[in-house]
Amino acid sequence: MPIKKSAKKALRQNIKRKKRNLIYKRKVKEAVREVRELISEKKINEAKRLLPEVYKILDKAAKVKVIKKNTASRKKSRIAKLLQAKNK
């Protein structure tokens, strides 16, 4: 356990930030999984409707630096590519 006052505060900050980061990570994971499941079940229209929401979640996670910008871009690209391939 921290002894100094500043170390105690740093620990409190780390705990708060970890909780917030986990929320964003879970949102990203759930959103991507949901879209992938819809695409695999051939529910293309529902997946297309959900796509802007997934993009928003990924962009927000990248903005607050929970995931890197390129990671968000890669995930968006792969989802769009998968959707396009199944749409044909």
Euclidean distance between CA atoms 54 and 73, whole angstroms? 12
Handedness of CA 17, 20, 35, 46 (dihedral sign): negative
Residue 75, C-beta contacts closer than 8 angstroms, at least 6 positions apart:
28, 32, 58
pLDDT at residue 77 in the model: 97
Helix, strand and coil content of the chain, in percent to the nearest 5, comes to 85, 0, 15
What domains can you pick out in the chain, each with its CATH number?
A: 5-87 (1.20.58.110)
pLDDT at residue 48 in the model: 93
- pLDDT surpasses 90 at 86: no
Residues 14-68: tens digit of each pLDDT: 999 999 999 999 999 999 999 999 999 999 999 999 999 999 999 999 999 999 9
Euclidean distance between CA atoms 16 and 88, whole angstroms? 45
